[in-house]
């Protein structure tokens, strides 16, 4: 942690994430039991400086429990978590100085305005005099709450409340951020604005961000990787491409590509033709195109396209479909509830 919080543009990440470096966040063989309930069951994954990792799972999967342990608000039954090398079990005070936790809901104290709220948390972290005032000013500039500094926090909109919650989380300039459902209940504009703030935190300030959300399309846009959890267990972790590849390999379909083709004269004839082609499966018309799976690699794709053109189809689009985070989640999870 730096002596002075610095939330300014211009400090852009000049190099890619270094996955050979020591992780800034590591969950190692983590267990949390509540009687017979295994809320967190042998969870392990890592995150690195400047990385945004999505923590994904259905309600009751164990996400919030694991996040609370990371934030030193709960203790594990077994295993440990490490933040910049410090154990949440053995060094909780050191962890609190370098980690910021934004829960899915946080209290709004009565009779406080925005600047007083942030100032309260700056004092709680031991900031004094000019350092405290500078921390509050810089956080308000970053979250663009300057024009609302005198507004009572009880009157803030949901979007502005989330900005205030993020500002509170950033007040001590933590290296690692743990954000539990920060976009819940936000309107589309507020979600976009929050997403941009998170991008700035990772790319410009090189903070590690662990974020949970049920809005998987948005997570897919900001996350470098993901950890998918269900019934307390990690089912997969890595980039979306890595997770998708591992799933295909586990199904014995490592050389199968999802493709889309659009032709000028409609989908009915091309759909019928694709069904007759070798190595093609899962043919499905969608809007103005037909999606399908093709077993093989680039050579098989090229040959199929050549045959389609020679058959007289006027092909205007032919491309692979990128599997989304939502696709990976639906393929991996089974809807198990503890």
Cβ–Cβ under 8 Å, residues 197 and 186: no
Residue 249 has pLDDT above 70, yes or no: no
- On average, the pLDDT of the chain sits at 88
CATH architecture type of domain 25-238: 3-Layer(aba) Sandwich (3.40)
Query: Quick one: 120 exposed, middle or buried, by C-beta within 10 A (0-12, 13-18, 19+)?
Result: middle
Which among 245, 215, 214, 212 is positioned nearest to 226, based on CA atoms? 212
**Percent of the chain scoring above 70 in pLDDT:** 90
Tens digit of each residue's pLDDT (9 = 90 or more) over 12-53? 445 688 888 999 999 999 999 999 999 999 999 999 999 999
pLDDT(233) > 70: yes
- Going by pLDDT thresholds of 50, 70 and 90, the confidence category of residue 242 is confident
What pLDDT, on the 0 to 100 scale, is given for residue 101? 97
Mean pLDDT of 276-297: 89
Among the listed ranges 111-115, 151-155, 201-205, 294-298, which one has the minimum average pLDDT value?
Answer: 294-298
Asked whether 273 and 308 are in contact (CB, 8 A), the reply is: yes
* Cβ–Cβ under 8 Å, residues 268 and 258: no
Q: Are 124 and 169 in contact (CB under 8 A)?
A: no
| Residue 34: HSE in the Cβ half-sphere, 13 Å Cα cutoff | 9
pLDDT at 213: 82
Q: Where in the chain is the domain with CATH 3.30.70?
A: 254-330
| Residues forming CATH 3.40.50.300 domain(s) in the chain | 25-238
The pLDDT of residue 10 is: 39
Asked if CATH classification 1.10.3470 holds for the domain at 254-330, the reply, yes or no, is no
The pLDDT of residue 322 is 61
Residue 64 CA from chain centroid, whole number: 14
Q: What is the pLDDT of residue 115?
A: 96
Which residue has better confidence, 153 or 256?
153
In whole angstroms, what is the distance from residue 247 CA to residue 254 CA? 8
For the cut 90, the answer to whether the pLDDT of residue 214 exceeds it is: no
| Distance (Å, whole) CA 285 – CA 280 | 14
**Predicted pLDDT at 99:** 98
Helix or strand holding residue 44 (H, E):
strand 37-47
Calculate the dihedral angle through the C-alpha atoms of 6, 175, 237, 79, rounding to the nearest 10 degrees: -170
The pLDDT, as a whole number, for residue 244 is: 67
Tell me if 56 sits within 8 A of 219, measured CB to CB.
yes
Residue 258, pLDDT score: 83
The pLDDT value given to residue 72: 97
Cα gap 164→153, rounded to integer Å? 9
Q: Give the residue-averaged pLDDT of 76-86.
A: 98
| pLDDT at position 239 | 81
Best CA proximity match to 40, nearest among 235, 232, 180: 232
Q: What is the mean pLDDT of residues 78-106?
A: 96
The predicted pLDDT at position 255 comes to 67
**Residue written as token pair 């507004």:** 151
Strand bridging mode 78-83 / 52-56: unpaired
Q: What is the pLDDT of residue 1?
A: 44
66 membership: H or E segment, kind and range = helix 63-70
Per-residue pLDDT, 321: 67
The whole-number pLDDT of residue 250 equals: 58
User: What own/partner pairs with CB < 8 Å and gap ≥ 24 does 149-157 have?
Assistant: 149/113, 149/114, 149/115, 150/113, 150/114, 150/115, 151/113, 151/114, 152/111, 152/112, 152/113, 153/108, 153/109, 153/112, 153/113, 153/114, 153/117, 154/108, 154/110, 156/114, 157/190
Which has the minimum average pLDDT: 260-264, 270-274, 285-289, 333-337? 333-337
pLDDT, tens digit, 9 for 90 and up, residues 116-160: 999 999 999 999 999 999 999 999 999 999 999 999 998 999 899
């Amino acid at each position: 942690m730096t002596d002075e919080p610095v939330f300014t543009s211009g400090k852009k990440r000049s190099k890619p994430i270094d996955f050979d470096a020591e992780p800034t966040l590591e969950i190692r063989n983590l267990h949390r039991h509540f009687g017979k309930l295994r809320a967190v069951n042998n969870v392990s994954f890592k995150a690195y400086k400047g990385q945004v990792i999505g923590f994904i799972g259905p309600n009751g999967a164990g996400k919030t429990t694991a996040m609370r342990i990371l934030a030193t608000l709960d203790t594990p039954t077994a295993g440990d978590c490490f933040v910049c090398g410090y154990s949440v079990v053995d060094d909780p005070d050191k962890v609190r100085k370098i980690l910021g936790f934004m829960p899915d809901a946080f209290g709004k104290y009565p009779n406080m305005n925005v600047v007083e709220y942030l100032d309260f948390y700056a004092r709680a972290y031991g900031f004094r005099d000019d350092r405290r005032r500078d921390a509050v000013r810089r956080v308000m500039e970053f979250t663009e709450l300057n024009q609302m500094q005198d507004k009572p926090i009880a009157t803030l909109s949901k979007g502005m409340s989330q900005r205030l919650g993020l500002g509170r989380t950033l007040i001590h300039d933590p290296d690692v951020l743990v954000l539990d459902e920060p976009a819940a209940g936000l309107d589309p504009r507020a979600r976009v604005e929050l997403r941009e703030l998170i991008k700035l935190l990772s790319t410009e300030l090189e903070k590690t961000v662990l974020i949970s959300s049920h809005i998987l399309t948005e997570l897919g846009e900001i996350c470098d990787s993901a950890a998918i959890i269900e019934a307390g267990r990690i089912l997969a972790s890595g980039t979306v491409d890595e997770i998708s590849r591992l799933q295909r390999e586990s199904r014995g379909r490592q050389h199968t590509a999802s493709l889309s083709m659009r032709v000028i004269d409609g989908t009915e004839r091309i759909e019928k033709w694709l069904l007759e082609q070798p190595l093609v499966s899962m043919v499905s018309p969608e809007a103005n195109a037909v999606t399908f799976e093709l077993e093989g690699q680039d050579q098989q794709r090229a040959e199929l396209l050549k045959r389609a053109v020679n058959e007289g189809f006027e092909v205007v689009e032919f491309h692979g479909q990128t599997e989304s985070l939502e696709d990976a989640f639906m393929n991996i999870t089974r809807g198990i509830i503890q």
